[in-house]
Amino acid sequence: MGQVIWSPQALDDVDAICVYIARDAPRYAEMFARGVFAATDRLADFPRSGRVVPELEREDYREIVFQSHRVVYRLQGEVVEVITVHHGARPLDESDVVR
């Protein structure tokens, strides 16, 4: 069993998304936050369950889709680092994820 950690950037992304949603629907913002964290729970046991990020074509960068967002993560041995939560309608630039 591995470990899932969230980068400061990914946590900031979730916060910004929730602030945006909460302007119109505070309850849905809370539901989004709970849901996106729950969606990554499986990564501790199944780190390769997400697809390879198409723009990068690297096995160590993967993503899962939650609602209209892409949760991009990096595999580092037993550790899964969630790097960013990115709206699916926006283009994903390599500089957004590769460090």
Instruction: Report which of 66, 80, 67 is spatially closest to residue 6, judged by C-alpha positions.
Output: 80
Domains of the chain, first to last:
3-88 (3.30.2310.20)
pTM, rounded to two decimals: 0.91
Q: What share of the chain is helix, strand, coil (3-state, %, to 5)?
A: 35, 30, 35
Query: Are residues 97 and 83 in contact, defined by beta-carbon separation less than 8 angstroms?
Result: yes
In this predicted model, what pLDDT tens digit does every residue of 2-59 receive, in sequence order? 899 999 999 999 999 999 999 999 999 999 999 999 999 999 999 999 999 998 888 9
